[in-house]
Amino acid sequence: MDQSQNDKLEPQRNEDIISHAMDQFFHSGPFAELMQGFQHLVNSAFTEAQVTIDVREEPTGLAVDISVPETFRDGDMLVETKGCYLHVTIRYDHKQAHSSHVSSSMTRTVVLPYKVSEEDMETSWNEQTLTLFFPKK
């Protein structure tokens, strides 16, 4: 191999060495553990914070089912209506594997097919689902 070919291979070798060092830094050791812990925290927070809101029209009115995660125990739920908008705020505490208690909160706004009134709202609770019913006028 002559000197010019050797000079061309040298930058590639340096890139390989740097790439290998970066892989080692990000995928092993304390930094990797920190990143894995952070990823676990993010994944578990999203898994436990999953709230579904289903809106369905019935012949007698509008029904809204708000399903909360099993970790929702002594949490707070605030429901507000403004015109065609339904605002749902949920706050709850839950225990995670590596920490004591974590407080979570989320707010969602849903556009309803027509205006509703909080004064006419009927509610019922079944396991992890709050059902709101707005009768037609």
pLDDT in tens, 1-48: 566 555 656 667 777 787 777 666 666 667 666 666 666 565 555 544
pLDDT of residue 73: 65
The answer, as to whether pTM is greater than 0.85, is no
Q: Kindly write down the DSSP assignment for every residue of 65-121, as one continuous string.
A: EEE--TT-SS-EEEEEEETTEEEEEEEEEEE-TTSSEEEEEEEEEEE-SS---GGG-
- pLDDT bin (cut points 50, 70, 90) of residue 64 is very high
**3 state DSSP class of 125:** strand
pLDDT of residue 106: 79
CB 19 within 8 A of CB 25: no
Q: How far apart are CA 81 and CA 119, in angstroms?
A: 10
CB 79 within 8 A of CB 86: yes
* pLDDT, tens only, 77-124: 889 999 889 999 888 776 666 666 667 777 888 999 999 989 999 999
